[in-house]
A and B are shown apart, each in its own frame.
Chain A
């Protein structure tokens, strides 16, 4: 569904990704792990068309459409939903308005997300539908960021550290919701620092190493067992 080939990215003269190859198949949850500063977020930004980074070489194709060179709103309209790091909700819009801004009618052959369904998915958001997003707690903002991405009716959801800065209770809720999304057959590229969360929902794991390439690929159970890889590439 998503294929990244030999992707090389840089910020000015600083090279970050040095030839990343990655595929995400339909219905799969792929976890992208790696230590701080390895380029996880850079990869996500490149996929959704944010600039910087500049893409020096390589290709990103999504359902046979080349994404490099497209504007981010065009990529979003192709069905790539993005939950950005740091949430970035629209503070002066209410929860409901945040969802309304994002809403796009579904593409064919897909179980459609409506605003009502997002509210069922995160009942907490329904309770706060008329609150301004800036007044939400961190966990609620994260739910809104996810709900907002779902309201665009994506076929691929790219999530950048949804666990960042969340209290354990909220983390539990998010984890459970992500499992539900997985059962709903949504394709997810999950970028995470939280190893536990990533391993508990991923079908497959890739690890980005310090040389700007993918250094490890395998199933979650394999990684759990591979103490050496964990120590070398993740520092745990």
Chain B
């Protein structure tokens, strides 16, 4: 059965409480370590099924997991809609461009710029959250939309003044020499170990993403995190119970923005080049797709959504080239539009059949095994 007897509060507070959960955690970690080695194998699966293409998709999904989960923290938990999401990706890119090892940057280490991005994001995030103290819903949507365009303008001004129209280039971060003892870190001929290519990035992104996600999960489990939900459900009642609504809203904005900014730093260094045209308003829709399909109001929902968002196009790409499908040339011509249409259908299907999203499917699966062989 699924019962778990706890006899002190510390046990009750643990994230991974039961033996199956711990086993799953270890197996999951081992699988996560093995994954890039598998993808590296020179192999072409039957029917031309994609193999190496997964590497980039997974890395992008890892980076966007942070942002999607942060969006969920703000919208799903605290009930504050913000269209400034892309603005904080831009802020991260800008922080990296100005301070980090980029075209015209100050050349500070990536490992310093990354947490600094979080600090900058938190401060600016709290400022952007100020309108949330006055307006809500659609009005907040409009107010934060202004931030999006202000951020694009800011990036463009920096780019034009410092770099030129080609866009900012980001140079691969280096693993500091005092960490060269780490397994699998074998410095290149010049004594450096640069993080470039999907294989090396993966091992950097997994711990950072996990760290950010755990941070958010723990914030939500704290008293402040409960207050987020209380405010979403009924901000008046929350304030009558002594919750400082203004402070809590700003805190949610700060935490969420800090996380998105960190993912913005990661994204710029991962894709190595960014320009003012890299940021379309569609980014907000993309994150919304991840949030809805993955599962509203759960942190893992953001992760599921991000993986869905980046892995399905790889599958679609493959399907397009299959015999039979390759006869319809329009499928190839309008590939990305068809992808978007399929996302649209996916959202409708999720909303109709599984409003809890992929995270809900995951919960159902767990429940199925926990109560096996009893169906109810």
B partners with A: yes
Q: Which residues of A contact B (CB under 8 A)?
A: 48, 50, 71-73, 76-77, 82, 84, 88-93, 97, 100-102, 104, 148-149, 152
Give 12 CB contacts A-B under 8 Å. A73-B240, A73-B244, A76-B240, A76-B241, A84-B237, A88-B236, A89-B234, A90-B229, A90-B233, A93-B230, A97-B226, A101-B227
* Bound Cα distance from A89 to B238, whole angstroms: 9
Number of A-B contacts (CB under 8 A): 63
**CB of B243 within 8 A of chain A?**
yes
Quick check: A101 and B297 within 8 Å, CB to CB?
Answer: no
Quick check: A73 and B236 within 8 Å, CB to CB?
Answer: no
Pick from A73, A77, A82, A93: contact of B233, CB under 8 Å: A93
Pick from A50, A91, A102: contact of B241, CB under 8 Å: A102
Contacts of B243 in A (CB 8 A): 73, 101
Quick check: A92 and B233 within 8 Å, CB to CB?
Answer: yes
Contacts of A92 in B (CB 8 A): 229, 232-233, 297
Quick check: A84 and B240 within 8 Å, CB to CB?
Answer: yes
| Residues of B in contact with A, size category | 10 to 19
Given A73-B245, A101-B243, A50-B236 contact (CB < 8 Å): yes
CB contact list, B224-280 vs A, under 8 A: 226-227, 229-230, 232-234, 236-245
**CB of B161 within 8 A of chain A?**
no
* Bound Cα distance from A149 to B241, whole angstroms: 7
Contacts of B241 in A (CB 8 A): 73, 76, 101-102, 148-149, 152
Given A88-B234, A90-B234, A92-B297, A82-B240 contact (CB < 8 Å): yes
3 smallest beta-carbon distances between A and B, as pairs: A76-B242, A88-B237, A90-B233
With both beta carbons as reference points, the residue of chain B lying nearest to A97 in the complex is identified as B226
Nearest-neighbour CB distance to chain A for B220, whole angstroms, equals: 11
Quick check: B240 and A72 within 8 Å, CB to CB?
Answer: yes
Quick check: A152 and B242 within 8 Å, CB to CB?
Answer: yes
With both beta carbons as reference points, the residue of chain B lying nearest to A76 in the complex is identified as B242
* Bound Cα distance from A88 to B138, whole angstroms: 23
* Bound Cα distance from A48 to B242, whole angstroms: 10
With both beta carbons as reference points, the residue of chain B lying nearest to A88 in the complex is identified as B237
* Bound Cα distance from A97 to B243, whole angstroms: 14
With both beta carbons as reference points, the residue of chain B lying nearest to A50 in the complex is identified as B236
Contacts of A104 in B (CB 8 A): 242
Contacts of A82 in B (CB 8 A): 240
Nearest-neighbour CB distance to chain A for B203, whole angstroms, equals: 37
**CB of B41 within 8 A of chain A?**
no
Quick check: A101 and B223 within 8 Å, CB to CB?
Answer: yes
Contacts of B244 in A (CB 8 A): 71, 73
Quick check: A100 and B237 within 8 Å, CB to CB?
Answer: no
With both beta carbons as reference points, the residue of chain A lying nearest to B234 in the complex is identified as A88
Contacts of B229 in A (CB 8 A): 90, 92-93, 97, 101
Contacts of B227 in A (CB 8 A): 101
Nearest-neighbour CB distance to chain B for A169, whole angstroms, equals: 26
* Bound Cα distance from A73 to B245, whole angstroms: 8
Nearest-neighbour CB distance to chain A for B234, whole angstroms, equals: 5
Contacts of A101 in B (CB 8 A): 223, 226-227, 229-230, 238, 241, 243
Nearest-neighbour CB distance to chain B for A8, whole angstroms, equals: 23
Nearest-neighbour CB distance to chain A for B298, whole angstroms, equals: 12
Nearest-neighbour CB distance to chain B for A147, whole angstroms, equals: 12
Quick check: B239 and A72 within 8 Å, CB to CB?
Answer: yes
Contacts of A148 in B (CB 8 A): 241
* Bound Cα distance from A48 to B297, whole angstroms: 31
Nearest-neighbour CB distance to chain B for A2, whole angstroms, equals: 16
With both beta carbons as reference points, the residue of chain A lying nearest to B247 in the complex is identified as A73
Contacts of B223 in A (CB 8 A): 100-101
* Bound Cα distance from A88 to B243, whole angstroms: 15
Nearest-neighbour CB distance to chain A for B244, whole angstroms, equals: 5
Nearest-neighbour CB distance to chain B for A148, whole angstroms, equals: 7
With both beta carbons as reference points, the residue of chain B lying nearest to A48 in the complex is identified as B240
Contacts of A90 in B (CB 8 A): 229-230, 233-234, 237-238
* Bound Cα distance from A124 to B91, whole angstroms: 50
* Bound Cα distance from A152 to B237, whole angstroms: 13
With both beta carbons as reference points, the residue of chain B lying nearest to A104 in the complex is identified as B242
Contacts of B245 in A (CB 8 A): 73
* Bound Cα distance from A155 to B65, whole angstroms: 46
* Bound Cα distance from A48 to B237, whole angstroms: 11
Nearest-neighbour CB distance to chain A for B372, whole angstroms, equals: 22
CB contact list, B178-237 vs A, under 8 A: 223, 226-227, 229-230, 232-234, 236-237
